[in-house]
Amino acid sequence: MVSTRSARRTATTVALAVTALLAVGLVGEPRAQAATTTSTLRIGTSVQGRALVAIHRSAPGATKRVLVIGVIHGNEKAGWWVIERLKRWDVPANVDLWLIPSINPDGMAANTRTNAHKVDLNRNFPQSWVYAGKGTSKYSGPSAGSEPETRAVMAFVKAHPPRTTVVLHQPLFGVDSYHAKSITLVQALARETQLPVKSFACSSTCHGTLTGWHNAYTPGRAVTIEFGASASTWRLSVVAAGIRKVGSAY
């Protein structure tokens, strides 16, 4: 017959073993919290028929909607690897997280800045749009919002207005303060991503950019972050962690 004391000791041992196993699981890479659910939404189709998707990760009651766009210029792929991290890591309890790995999959496949119509999507949004650059890698497109990728992002942002949006680029290395809607947010992102604050004023004035359109026509704040020409795994992780932290705190 097992005494009460020995049964209690056995129960304690089992509980300690379970605690130890949980602790082992928590070491290293942060894991998704149990309450976080992940789903994928198709938001549109590229010129060449590739799917444009947004990944939604959130727990019940999360109030701060954060959108991260990994790639808009197809030859600037570092942001893709930021999204890969944010797809796996813990989501802060207050963050309603949306991840768009790429709005330019055709450009990624061809390793071009532009989409398959040779349009720079970051000159195609209907805010301060001008017709410019035909035949160059900064072609505005024939009209504002002419591209299906542009329209997919606009529809998504209108339907799910983010509080904070971060758009990732290369190679200017910094957090953009040009026409910042919230300089406090820009400075916090720079501090937490360990990147400098810089003003990326295009050539002189930015025309038809995603962040310009977002900041003009939605309540949320959009910020451009530029990696250097290349990005180490350390840098990718620091930037992913910084976006997650600032998205939760601001």
CB of 96 to Zn ion, least distance (A): 26
Nearer to Zn ion, 59 or 189 (CB): 189
CA separation for the pair 27, 3 (Å, rounded): 37
Nearer to Zn ion, 71 or 95 (CB): 71
Nearer to Zn ion, 76 or 96 (CB): 76
Instruction: Extract the runs of DSSP E, i.e. beta strands, from 80-200.
Output: 95-102, 164-169, 174-176, 197-198
Nearer to Zn ion, 76 or 192 (CB): 76
**What amino acid occupies position 119?**
V
Tell me the backbone φ, ψ of residue 45, rounded to 5 degrees: -140, 135
Footprint of Zn ion on this chain (CB under 5 A)? 73, 76, 169
Q: Classify residue 164 by its DSSP letter.
A: E
Nearer to Zn ion, 131 or 200 (CB): 200
**What is the Cα Rg of the chain in Å?**
21
Residue number with the smallest Cβ distance to Zn ion: 169
Q: In what order do the strands lie in the sheet with 197-198?
A: 37-45, 51-58, 95-102, 64-71, 164-169, 221-226, 174-176, 197-198
